[in-house]
């Protein structure tokens, strides 16, 4: 919905006129960046980017917490995979992530190609 970007611009500008300048909206994921490109609107001066990385070893372990280290090595640091209730759910999330990345994200970097439907 690229038109969402134009609506956000209006909402942000109205809030600024009322003195509210930051922290009003949160757009998540690569889809948000894609929407900006499609809309032709930059929202320059109205947004900031915050890159979130997966969990790292210091966030999931204590000084002698080897099971968490093993879990991080196997499941990776993405919260959905790392915190899954069991190994099967974690594996399912990772397989879905890989498939989505290969089918949707990678093709957008190939000139003239779009994601696989």
What are the CA-CA distances from residue 40 to residues 7, 25, 49 (Å)?
13, 19, 18
Q: What is the residue-level pLDDT of the chain in tens, covering all 117 positions?
A: 667 777 888 888 888 889 887 777 777 665 555 556 655 666 777 777 777 789 888 888 766 556 888 889 899 999 999 999 999 999 999 999 999 888 877 777 777 765 555
- Please tell me the pTM assigned to this model: 0.56
62-87 burial, b for 16+ CB within 10 Å, e for fewer?
Answer: eeeeeeeeebbeebbebeebbebeee
Per DSSP, helices labelled H in 41-108 are: 57-60, 66-75, 79-82, 87-100
């Amino acid at each position: 919905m690229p038109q969402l970007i134009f609506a956000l611009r209006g909402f942000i500008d109205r809030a600024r006129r009322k003195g509210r300048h930051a922290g009003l909206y949160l757009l998540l994921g690569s889809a948000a960046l894609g929407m900006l490109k499609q809309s032709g609107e930059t929202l320059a001066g109205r947004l900031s980017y915050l890159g979130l990385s997966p969990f790292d070893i210091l966030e999931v372990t204590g000084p002698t917490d080897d099971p968490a280290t093993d879990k991080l090595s196997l499941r990776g640091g993405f919260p959905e995979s790392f915190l899954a209730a069991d190994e099967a759910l974690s594996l399912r999330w990772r397989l879905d992530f890989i498939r989505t990345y290969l089918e949707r994200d990678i093709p957008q970097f190939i000139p003239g190609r779009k994601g696989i439907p």
